[in-house]
């Protein structure tokens, strides 16, 4: 380990510099005979050839560093010395690599002052390809190995590697693109830097007006957003808790159905819930029709605006809260509850003074996720908002609307980020540093105390009507795909499904002739790639943040929230800004879509992981360490199995969000990589609801199948606890 790892990475980096094309090949590696042009062809040449043969001298220093690392790895040095040397060398190499990539771009020097300082450059460079990327990864690995051998991160190379991976990837795929767009908040339309412009942009009355309090017109978008998010966070947490309690602590018979029902809204492609709500509660909707017919109440338009958006958001985000909370509620140890009862606390006191406080990290996390989901939500406000504007819609229209003002969009995005930051800070203050560990290594923990009657009834009376309502809405939606015109002509038809998913048999085999197949398979493929990456990155980050001590931990935790809190449209445009030009020119590929999925959705994995991890007693880790289990062994054989609900949650979320995201990927899809959601949205824009809903139903079926598969593959967490069914008779 001492020598082999740095040796292997130095060698890998050097091999990449010799044997792979340094720059990206536009049409893909397998499209051209690059092997023969590795030295002579300027397009396909390896890093070494570029530096020696094609006049790209600036590539030489980082490559020399790799050689130095190889020498250091081979030299007979004490561990600590080698670590210091490796870390220094690879650090310098990374700086050199970054400097040349930033300074020299598609058109030679990338900034005017560089050209005037050094003179015009005869050469230029494109995006990083296989060779360049691998060399970069090798240097990053060497840095983490070096730091670990020097003694950082508890001297553990695994922890060091994990921190470096997570930090570097978040820096590259979250911070870097977001920085690109946020800096525009300080620039005027000609790109001139004017810091005061931000204040000017944010001071507008449209943002801060409080007229609605005195009943004269609408309030500013900032207040709208804040108020909506607070209501959504609180509401979805309460509903999520009710569902979690019913699902884990009562003898309710249809728990599985309940679970599926609560999951339905997250796996619903956007706009469908909004449209269904309009068809049920809209002016010409079912409810109003009935009220007018039976009681003569004239139809109203209450669904448009705050109430409708809140309702749709509660629908959409309660399941997320439920996913965060279920593991937490399950994890609360009966031992403490039994102890409370032994001390003569009644069930109500036990619930309010023991169980609930132990769920605090979960509740706070659920609230935070609900709050941030709400401020970043775009689909529901756009369908149901009417006059009620929120920041995300304002930002969207600043980018794509009649004004095309990136500066304004960036300024509003900063405001949105500030809100997320404030919520994040408050959540940390609330949860604090207290211990919530209730999963320990001690065997049977006793029976969970039955819920007090009041709590049980409340939970039931909240959860069950809500579930019934969800069921109604979905039944109604499902019908939409099977009738001629949803909301208008209810003649049954299969035409929409045939149009989307027909398969023809011919002499050469099956022809997938349906209009939706192309985007369907692309979506399945990309989501299946993104989900495990999202979950792995999210959970590893959670583990680092909760279990490891290192400098910049809180920063890392916050950085994972960044891309989640920024609305999708901004992320999409930011990705185009950052990744349409070298050094990382990946627009138009499937890679950029996958990266966007992973880094946008890993936050929920992080939150769920953190909530679950803070319940697992550290002594388990220590026991494993005492038995000479290394850090990786402890992680994979002790922590991970106890985190199965969180793993399932992160995987499921990673998959379904990849399938249902719209606003972030609108700018990233291409003719080759079209996604299901963008296809559906175009259908909705055309008023072709039948096809849109038929497609959405197919996607829902796909995601349900994926969830079942994920649950099956990951398996249940087995805590040493007896089943709860025993007390069901009494309930």
Partner 1 sequence: MKIGLPFAAIVASATGLACTTPASAQAVVNVYCSVQVEWCTLAANEFQKATGVKVSMTQKGSGETIAQLKAEAQNPKGDVWFGGTGDPHLQAAEDGLTEAYKSPHLAELHPWAVKQNTDSGGSTVGIYAGALGFGYNTELLAKKGARAPACWADLLKPEFKGEVQVANPNSSGTAYVEIATLVQLWGEDKAFDYLRKLHANINSYTRSGTAPIKAVARGETSVSISFIHDGVTEALAGFPVKVTTPCEGTGYEIGSISIVKGARHMANAKKFYDWALTPEAQKLGAQAKQFQVPSNKATPVPPEAPKFADIKLIDYDQAKYGKSAERKRLISRWDSEIGSLPKP
- Asked if residue 77 binds partner 1 (CB under 8 A), the reply is no
Binding to partner 1 (CB under 8 A) within 306-325 occurs at none
Task: Verify binding: residue 658, partner 1, rule CB under 8 A.
Answer: no
From the list 51-59, 157-165, 244-252, 312-320, the region that binds partner 1 by CB under 8 A is 157-165
The Cα–Cα gap between 565 and 372 comes to 6
Contacts of 163 (CB under 8 A, 6+ apart): 144, 153, 544, 548, 550, 556
Q: Residue 267 Cβ, how far from partner 1 at the closest point, in Å?
A: 24
Interaction of residue 29 with partner 1, rule CB under 8 A? yes
CA atoms within 13 A on the CB side of 305: 7
- By beta-carbon proximity to partner 1, the closer residue of 353 and 670 is 670
Binding span for partner 1 by CB under 8 A among 136-144, 414-422, 426-434, 558-566: 136-144
The least CB distance from residue 673 to partner 1, in Å, is 9
Distance separating alpha carbons of residues 201 and 395, to the nearest angstrom: 12
Q: Which two tokens stand for residue 508?
A: 């050469």
Measured CA to CA in angstroms, residue 344 lies from 147, 206, 409, 438 at distances of 54, 57, 58, 21
Secondary structure of residue 643 in the 3-state scheme: coil
d(Cα 156, Cα 632) in Å, to the nearest integer?
A: 10
Work out how close the CB of 590 gets to partner 1 at its nearest, in angstroms, rounded to a whole number.
5
Instruction: Tell me the window of 77-85, 234-242, 471-479, 581-589 that interacts with partner 1 (CB under 8 A).
Output: 581-589
Residues 6+ apart with CB under 8 A from 300: 283, 288
Nearer to partner 1, 224 or 318 (CB): 224
Output the smallest distance, CB 273 to partner 1, in A: 16
The reply on whether position 479 binds partner 1 by CB under 8 A is no
CB 314 within 8 A of CB 235: yes
Of 1-9, 92-100, 249-257, 696-704, which segment contacts partner 1 by CB under 8 A? 1-9
- Closest separation in Å from C-beta 444 to partner 1: 34
Nearest to 596 by CA among 563, 627, 623: 563
Q: Does 218 bind partner 1 (CB under 8 A)?
A: yes
State which of residues 585, 695, 702, 707 lies at the interface with partner 1 (CB under 8 A): 585
Contacts with partner 1 in 513-552 (CB under 8 A)? Answer: 529, 533, 536, 540
Residue 155 in the binding site for partner 1 (CB under 8 A): no
Shortest Å distance, C-beta 61 to partner 1: 23
Residue in 240, 331, 361, 385 binding partner 1, rule: CB under 8 A? 385
Q: Looking only at residues 252 through 291 of this chain, which bind partner 1 when binding is defined by CB under 8 A? A: 278-279, 282-284
Residue 157 contacts partner 1 per CB under 8 A:
yes
* Region 621-640 residues binding partner 1, contact defined as CB under 8 A: 632
Closer residue to partner 1, CB minimum distance, 267 or 571:
571
Length of the chain: 731
Can you spell out the DSSP letters for 502-555? --EEETTEEE--STTHHHHHHHHHHHHHHHHHHHHHHHHHHHHHHH---TTHHH
Range 727-731 contact pairs with CB under 8 angstroms and sequence separation of 24 or more: 727/251, 727/447, 727/450, 728/250, 728/251, 729/251, 730/450, 731/250, 731/251, 731/450, 731/456
Q: Which of 458, 580, 711, 727 binds partner 1 (CB under 8 A)?
A: 580
**By the rule CB under 8 A, 591 interacts with partner 1:** yes
- Please identify which residue in 91, 401, 452, 641 interacts with partner 1, judged by CB under 8 A: 401
**Among 437, 576, 620, 625, interactor with partner 1 by CB under 8 A:** 576
| Residue 35 CB, nearest approach to partner 1 (Å) | 14
Question: For partner 1, which stretch binds (CB under 8 A), given 347-355, 416-424, 485-493, 644-652?
Answer: 485-493
Among positions 81, 194, 206, 457, the unique one binding partner 1 when judged by CB under 8 A = 206
Give the separation between CA 668 and CA 661, rounded to whole angstroms: 12
Q: Which is nearer to partner 1, 202 or 251 (CB)?
A: 202
Output 452 or 629, the one with its CB closest to partner 1. Answer: 629
- 563/92 Cα distance (integer angstroms): 29
Among 195, 215, 432, 723, binds partner 1 (CB under 8 A): 215
The yes or no reply on residue 161 touching partner 1 (CB under 8 A) is: yes
| Backbone angles phi and psi of 55, in degrees to 5 | 70, 15
To partner 1, the closest distance from the beta carbon of 63 in angstroms equals 19
Alpha-carbon gap, residue 165 to 56, rounded angstroms: 28
Instruction: Rule CB under 8 A: choose which of 351, 424, 474, 577 binds partner 1.
Output: 577
Q: How far apart are CA 339 and CA 344, in angstroms?
A: 9
Residues that contact partner 1, how many (by CB under 8 A): 89
> Is the Cβ–Cβ distance between 539 and 605 less than 8 Å?
yes
Please, which residue, 283 or 644, has the CB nearer to partner 1? 283
Q: Which of 422/682 has CB closer to partner 1?
A: 682
Q: Which stretch binds partner 1 (CB under 8 A): 3-11, 247-255, 266-274, 415-423?
A: 3-11
Cα separation, 403 vs 397, whole angstroms: 8
Residue 407 or residue 448: which is nearer to partner 1 going by CB? 407
Residues between 106 and 125 with contacts to partner 1, criterion CB under 8 A: 106
Helix (H, G, I), strand (E, B) or coil at 203: coil
Does 33 help bind partner 1 (rule: CB under 8 A)?
no
Contacts of 70 (CB under 8 A, 6+ apart): 7, 10, 11, 14
Using the rule CB under 8 A, is 94 a contact of partner 1? no
Closer CB to partner 1, residue 341 or residue 633?
Answer: 633
- Where do the H-state alpha helices sit in 126-192? 130-150, 157-170, 176-182
Q: What share of the chain is helix, strand, coil (3-state, %, to 5)?
A: 70, 5, 25
Q: Is 134 in the site for partner 1 (CB under 8 A)?
A: yes
Applying CB under 8 A, among 403, 435, 513, 555 the residue interacting with partner 1 is 403
Give the residue among 233, 260, 258 at the shortest CA–CA distance from 243. Answer: 258
Q: Looking at 33-41, 128-136, 542-550, 709-717, which segment touches partner 1 (CB under 8 A)? A: 128-136
Cis peptide before 487 (omega within 30 of 0): no
Q: d(Cα 34, Cα 43) in Å, to the nearest integer?
A: 9
As measured in angstroms, the least distance from the Cβ of 232 to partner 1 is 19
Task: State the Cα–Cα distance between residues 626 and 335, nearest whole angstrom.
Answer: 25
Q: Residue 188, interface with partner 1 (CB under 8 A)?
A: no
Among 334-342, 382-390, 418-426, 717-725, which window interacts with partner 1 (CB under 8 A)?
382-390
Interface residue with partner 1 among 489, 494, 511, 715 (CB under 8 A) is 489
Helix axes 644-660, 306-331, angle to 10 degrees: 150
Comparing CB distances to partner 1, the nearer of 343 and 685 is: 685
Quickly list H helices, 36-78.
Answer: 47-53, 60-74
Q: Site mask, partner 1, residues 666-695, x = CB under 8 A? A: xx-xxxx---------xx-xxxx-------
């Amino acid at each position: 380990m001492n020598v082999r790892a740095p040796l292997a990475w130095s060698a890998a980096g050097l091999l990449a510099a010799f044997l792979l094309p340094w720059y990206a090949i536009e049409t893909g590696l397998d499209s051209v005979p690059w092997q023969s042009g590795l030295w002579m062809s300027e397009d396909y040449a390896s890093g070494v050839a570029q530096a020696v043969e094609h006049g790209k001298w600036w590539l030489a220093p980082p490559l020399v560093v790799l050689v130095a690392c190889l020498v250091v790895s081979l030299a007979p040095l004490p561990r600590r010395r080698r670590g210091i040397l490796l870390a220094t060398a690879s650090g310098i190499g990374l700086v050199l690599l970054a400097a040349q990539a930033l300074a020299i771009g598609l058109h030679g020097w990338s900034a005017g002052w560089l050209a005037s300082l050094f003179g015009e450059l005869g050469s230029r460079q494109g995006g990083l390809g296989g060779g360049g990327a691998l060399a970069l990864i090798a240097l990053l690995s060497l840095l983490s190995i070096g730091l670990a051998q020097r003694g950082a991160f508890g001297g553990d190379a695994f922890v060091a590697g994990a921190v470096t991976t997570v930090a570097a990837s978040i820096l590259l795929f979250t911070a870097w693109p977001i920085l690109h767009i946020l800096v525009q908040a300080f620039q005027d339309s000609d790109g001139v830097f004017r810091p005061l412009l931000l204040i000017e942009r944010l001071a507008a009355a449209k943002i801060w007006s409080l007229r609605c309090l005195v009943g004269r017109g609408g309030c500013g978008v900032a207040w709208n957003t804040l108020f909506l998010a607070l209501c959504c966070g609180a509401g979805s947490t309460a509903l999520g808790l009710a569902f979690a309690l019913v699902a884990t602590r009562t003898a309710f018979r249809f728990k599985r159905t309940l679970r599926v029902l609560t999951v339905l809204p997250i796996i619903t492609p956007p706009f469908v819930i909004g449209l269904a709500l309009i068809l049920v509660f809209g002016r010409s909707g079912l409810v109003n029709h009935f009220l007018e017919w039976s009681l003569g109440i004239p139809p109203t338009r209450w669904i448009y605006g705050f109430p409708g958006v809140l309702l749709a958001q509660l629908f959409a985000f309660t399941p997320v809260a439920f996913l965060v909370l279920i593991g937490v509620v399950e994890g609360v140890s009966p031992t403490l509850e039994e102890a409370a009862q032994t001390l003569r606390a009644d069930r109500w006191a036990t619930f309010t003074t023991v169980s609930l406080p132990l769920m605090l990290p979960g509740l706070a996390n659920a609230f935070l996720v609900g709050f941030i989901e709400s401020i970043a939500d775009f689909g529901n406000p756009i369908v149901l908002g009417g006059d009620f504007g929120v920041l995300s819609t304002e930002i969207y229209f600043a980018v794509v609307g009649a004004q095309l003002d990136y500066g304004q969009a960036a300024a509003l995005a900063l405001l949105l980020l500030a809100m997320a930051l404030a919520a994040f800070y408050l959540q940390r203050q609330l949860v604090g540093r207290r211990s919530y560990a209730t999963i320990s290594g001690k065997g049977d923990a006793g029976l969970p105390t039955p819920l007090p009657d009041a709590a049980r009834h409340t939970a039931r009376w909240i959860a069950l009507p809500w579930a019934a309502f969800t069921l109604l809405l979905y039944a109604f939606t499902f019908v939409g795909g099977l009738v001629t015109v949803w909301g208008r002509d209810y003649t049954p038809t299969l035409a929409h499904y045939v149009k989307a998913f027909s398969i023809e048999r011919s002499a050469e085999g099956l022809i997938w002739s349906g209009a939706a197949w192309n985007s369907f398979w692309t979506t399945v493929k990309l989501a299946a790639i993104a989900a495990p990456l999202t979950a792995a990155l999210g959970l590893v980050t959670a583990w680092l943040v909760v279990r490891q001590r290192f400098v910049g931990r809180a920063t890392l935790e916050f950085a994972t929230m960044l891309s989640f809190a920024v609305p999708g449209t901004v992320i999409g445009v930011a990705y185009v800004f950052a990744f349409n030009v070298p050094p990382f020119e990946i627009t138009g590929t499937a890679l950029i879509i996958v990266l966007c999925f992973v880094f946008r959705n890993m936050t929920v994995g992080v939150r769920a992981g953190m909530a679950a991890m803070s319940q697992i007693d550290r002594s388990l880790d220590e026991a494993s360490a005492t038995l000479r289990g290394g850090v990786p062994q402890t992680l994979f054989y002790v922590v991970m199995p106890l985190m199965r609900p969180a793993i399932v949650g992160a995987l499921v979320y990673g998959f379904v969000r990849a399938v249902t995201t719209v606003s972030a990927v609108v700018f990233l899809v291409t003719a080759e990589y079209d996604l299901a959601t963008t296809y559906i949205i175009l259908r909705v824009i055309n008023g072709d609801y039948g096809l849109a809903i038929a497609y959405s139903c197919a996607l829902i079926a796909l995601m349900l199948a994926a969830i079942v598969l994920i649950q099956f593959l990951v398996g249940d967490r087995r805590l040493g606890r007896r089943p709860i069914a025993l007390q069901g008779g009494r309930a």
